[in-house]
Structure 1
């Protein structure tokens, strides 16, 4: 199977030799708008200094140190607000499309992606995500579909779409066994028969010794960081992916997505969002260390869109309190589940205090308890609203916004990503590098 418009951007690249990086690491913080970077700076400062934070100067984060510009994210329609599928399509192909599209254009014709191009040219490819690996962002780099919701068909295409007789991705790490091992088809069996090593647990991940390899570590997505017992999830997967991809003679393209930053934003869950930002930051540090050791590598970091319309300061107050957020030890969803599971209202309030360290007024307690025993969503919404209220975090929506997003770059040719760019311009520049022949 082959895309009808395979690699339409090759005409943009020069056939002459120039100093293109051999390897590209492309990291996408899903939903990570500018306020997320600012919030993470103060959150990290609070984690570092605790009670002494107010007396210490605020230091840069890894995101601040690598920041080079900003990007627009609008899709190919009149909404100006993109979803992850259209955003990832632009970031993977250099072509805008409609919301919901997985690397197809308005006529539903497949658009060639940078990873498909890399595969055609003999480079290796890797995908790492904290979501299911066939979710919108990773899917746009290796597959084509008119709808991001066709998750089983997208999973099938990860194996069925071949270039030079091989699947596009040599390394695939994240969640999603429910989509790859189904009653109607076992796609993992197909991968294993084709020579892929396979892991379905963190313990087995360490046994993967070479590419091609696939690791699906949960039924759907990986656990949210706040609820997980596995430290540094994304950094661990990124490090392993780089280890397996490194022996690629012609270089590689690795895409790493901090998928659940977006999901926390949709829930308006600030503690969840900051934990996912920290997990993503640890993965960025792994990638930066790789660039330091392998200077013929370019690291580019951006987002597909902003989620939630986050503001630091709310309700007319000139105040934001990361110390409140840093003490919350579970997502709003888990808090709701545990309060619903409590044997009594008194036990529920005790559990609230243990998980959030927030002391509620009598009225707020009743507001919280009134949702116990009902739908999880209603209780979760009250829980995250109270955390936002006490930390003075504002939100304008449970969806996406049209806000520009940050661009960060490090390593070879980082200067090509300075200033303002459209999301498609980022992809076009990377495609130019990938399509350039490396000097012998």
Structure 2
């Protein structure tokens, strides 16, 4: 009888203990499911084969291995089966399919609110980083509304009046060496931006209540093989420090622009070096997201470029017959343009399972907003 009583007391204690833990566990689960920040990384021109180079040509383990939630998007634009970067990025930034070449415009050339404009109104901080010019198709689609990507000086006029809190890229000449002779660096400073033309300033700690812009090349940034160095990681690190310190939540778009340029050039080494840089930047972002706990990370591409593939090379066997050498990868290309291949989406953090499946590129916009609203 004494033993039974002790058993019942222990049983009651365990029930009360575990019931008492339930609210706390639920609270922790709710905390983990809340999205405060979103980091969207776009590898321009980055298809499955480009991503695969990070597994075959990297010295270490690719950061792409750290993702469990993976989907695919169809990238066709409203005007073409094969999209360009402008229509692809506009689909991400506005949720609308549009014609090739459009920057923040719908199929009827009418301006559409982009995600930066929407989230800024909700008091989130915003940032853009690219290894291209800031006026190039992808970053431009997150702050400008212009009928054609071929009008970089028109695109530049939108940046001083934008809600961007931080940007880093090339494109200086579209602000200070313009055909209209207007000094848009001054206009940006007049609108509250602290502008730097020196990459050393990427190492500086920034003041929380200020807006910053870094224009570090006349047009696009140098290739990795030409000495770009740690620009992408340094700018990402600085942006994360600034935007997260403001304590309001943030949206940050980071583009590995030149993966696309390597594809257009049919230059495998160019692609491999740019993917390595992008992969290392992904690692920096994932480390931040893991520590933060309330950051959603989404990695995607606007399209694939080059019809790039990792095929085997050929060699002669003992009978002098040409055979495939399955121990030697020979990158190859089928085009100098874009392709229509489906593009993978990698997601990490709270609500990342919403990015599984196969869907249209324009749905990325709604999935991000829904993740922030729920």
Whether the TM-score (by the shorter chain) exceeds 0.5 is yes
**Which of 2, 25, 36 is the aligned partner of 2:39?**
25
Q: What's the offset of the Cα at 1:114? A: 0.9
Q: Secondary structure at the match of 2:65?
A: helix
Q: What's the offset of the Cα at 1:40? A: 2.1
Q: What's the offset of the Cα at 1:107? A: 1.1
Q: Which residue of 1 aligns with 2:250?
A: 252
The CA deviation string for residues 80-138 of structure 1, in whole angstroms up to 9 with x for no partner, is 10000000011111110000001111111011111110111111100000000111001
Q: Which residue of 1 aligns with 2:18?
A: none
- Where does the alignment leave 5 or more consecutive residues of structure 2 unmatched? 1-31, 315-322
Cα pair distance change 1:81/1:192, threshold 3 Å: same
Cα pair distance change 1:321/1:276, threshold 3 Å: farther
**Which of 278, 281, 285 is the aligned partner of 1:283?**
281
Given that 1:159 and 1:187 are in contact with CA atoms closer than 8 Å, whether structure 2 keeps it comes out as yes
Distance 2:174 2:182 in 1: 9
**Which of 71, 92, 99 is the aligned partner of 2:73?**
71
Given that 2:130 and 2:168 are in contact with CA atoms closer than 8 Å, whether structure 1 keeps it comes out as yes
Distance 2:327 2:160 in 1: 47
Which of the two has higher C-alpha Rg? 2
Q: Which residue of 1 aligns with 2:174?
A: 179
Given that 2:351 and 2:371 are in contact with CA atoms closer than 8 Å, whether structure 1 keeps it comes out as no
Q: Which residue of 2 aligns with 1:297?
A: 295
Distance 1:258 1:170 in 2: 20
Q: Which residue of 2 aligns with 1:152?
A: 153
Q: Which residue of 2 aligns with 1:137?
A: 138
Cα pair distance change 1:114/1:287, threshold 3 Å: same
Given that 2:97 and 2:107 are in contact with CA atoms closer than 8 Å, whether structure 1 keeps it comes out as no
Q: Which residue of 1 aligns with 2:346?
A: 408
Distance 2:205 2:152 in 1: 26
Q: Secondary structure at the match of 1:318?
A: strand
**Which of 397, 401, 414 is the aligned partner of 2:335?**
397
Cα pair distance change 1:320/1:216, threshold 3 Å: farther
Q: What's the offset of the Cα at 1:63? A: 1.4
Distance 2:206 2:131 in 1: 21
- Point out the more displaced range, 201-210 or 261-270: 201-210
Q: What's the offset of the Cα at 1:411? A: 1.0
Q: Secondary structure at the match of 1:101?
A: coil
Q: Which residue of 2 aligns with 1:318?
A: 324
TM-score (norm. length: structure 1): 0.72
Q: What number of residue pairs does the alignment pair up? A: 330
Cα pair distance change 1:36/1:143, threshold 3 Å: same
Distance 1:36 1:63 in 2: 12
Q: Which residue of 2 aligns with 1:34?
A: 48
- Where does the alignment leave 5 or more consecutive residues of structure 1 unmatched? 1-17, 49-59, 161-166, 323-390
**Which aligned pairs between 1:417-428 and structure 2 lie closer than 5 A?**
417-428=355-366
Q: Which residue of 2 aligns with 1:355?
A: none
TM-score (norm. length: structure 2): 0.84
**Which of 187, 193, 196 is the aligned partner of 2:193?**
196
RMSD: 1.9
